[in-house]
Amino acid sequence: MKTWSLFLISLLMSACAHAQSEGILRGNDHIPVTLQDAVATVTPGSIVIIGENHGFAEHRDQQVAIMQALRAKGLKVSVGMEFFTYTDQELVNSYRAGSLAEPDFLKAIQWGNPSYDYYRPQALFPLITEGAKTLALNAPRSVTGSAAKKGLEALTPEEKALLPPGFTLGRDSYKRRFLSMMPHLPSPEAGERYFAAQSIWDDTMAWKATEFMASHPDQVLVIVVGEFHVQYGGGLPDRLRARSPQTPLLTFSQINIQGMEEDEIAVEIQPSPQEGPRADYLWLAPAQSLGL
């Protein structure tokens, strides 16, 4: 009898562990929730940030599912794209209006990798007939490239003019995590330059997003961005809160658990003792690049 009880306990523990290794979990306590529950508190005027691993079909599909869940609530959904540069907004507008063919649009914005197949559904999701918009958020690559190579102080006046108003670097805890991901930097100065470029990405996206929301308070803006920008709130969420403290913010972290054991997943999703949960919600699923 005792052996059977121990077996049942072991089975239940295994089932619980498996149930929490995939799907959507609350970031603070890892309780499984439905997608509808995760977006239940989103109201007009909110920003939803979805962090992804670039080029994974599963992450693309999860992003669209989140957008569809918001639309099902009767919300008007605009989408901000990290891969589109804000200086190309008119090209994005022409593409969405149908006056610029997709091949010409991709050539004009110098689209590279990954394949646009991963991002077409997100870019085309907003209903422009209801006033929703596909928003280009990122800084020009010429500016971030110059900052990474030469540093902020070496930017030309023309490059500095493209920085967001009141630009500041990311917070110290974010910088420490960023630099820890780059252990083979040639020098501390190189780390400073690379972090300056990272901060330009974050603060530019925050600037354009809050500027858009100020003039579209009836909408929800979903931002698709690399997952590191979202982790522990230190990158883009931090800059959004600095620029618009009153804007409701919800964060998703999409985590690829392909090939990971249960103990590895537990470590991956563990809240930081200093910075708290990785995101408001964690969407765990195995994902594989299709190499498109």
Q: Which amino acid would we find at residue 30? A: H
Asked if residue 144 belongs to a domain, the reply is no
162 φ/ψ sector (left φ>0, alpha ψ -120 to 50, else beta): alpha
Distance of CA 168 to the CA centre of its chain: 20
12-25: burial string, b at 16+ Cβ within 10 Å, e else: eeeeeeeebbeebb
> In degrees, to the nearest 5, what angle opens at C-alpha 135 toward C-alphas 217 and 108?
160
pLDDT reported for residue 238: 97
Asked, for residue 115, whether it belongs to a domain, the answer is yes
Q: Distance between CA atoms of 69 and 75, rounded to whole angstroms?
A: 9
DSSP for 114-160?
S-GGGTHHHHT-S-GGGT--EEEEEPPHHHHHHHHHH-GGG--HHHH
Let me know if residue 182 belongs to a domain: no
* Total domains, the chain: 1
Q: 3-state class of 47 per DSSP?
A: strand
Please report, for the domain that includes residue 33, its CATH number.
3.40.50.11550
Within-domain flag for 195: no
What single-letter DSSP state applies at residue 75? -
Domain carrying residue 124: 21-139+203-285
Cβ proximity of 191 and 182 under 8 Å? yes
The confidence score (pLDDT) of residue 290 equals 59
Is the entire prediction scored with pTM above 0.95? no
Is 272 strand, coil or helix? strand
In a domain, residue 97? The reply is: yes
Cα distances from 103 to residues 37, 121, 122, 212, 266, in angstroms, run 39, 16, 17, 27, 43
Query: What sections of the chain are H helices per DSSP?
Result: 2-19, 35-38, 57-72, 89-97, 102-108, 120-123, 141-150, 157-160, 172-180, 188-215, 236-243, 262-269
Q: Tens of pLDDT along the chain (292 residues)?
A: 434 333 333 333 333 443 456 899 999 999 999 999 999 999 999 999 999 999 899 999 999 999 999 999 999 999 999 999 999 999 999 999 999 999 999 999 999 989 999 999 999 999 999 999 999 999 999 999 999 999 999 999 999 999 999 999 999 999 999 999 887 888 889 999 999 999 999 999 999 999 999 999 999 999 999 999 999 999 999 999 999 999 999 999 999 999 999 999 999 999 998 899 999 999 999 987 755 4
Under a CB-based contact definition with an 8 Å cutoff, are residues 257 and 22 in contact? yes
Write out the two tokens for 49: 């940030």
Task: Using DSSP, state whether 56 is helix, strand or coil.
Answer: strand
Q: Does 1 fall in a domain?
A: no
Assess if residue 108 is contained within a domain: yes
Q: Is residue 146 part of a domain?
A: no
What is the distance between the terminal CA atoms of the chain, rounded to a whole angstrom? 55
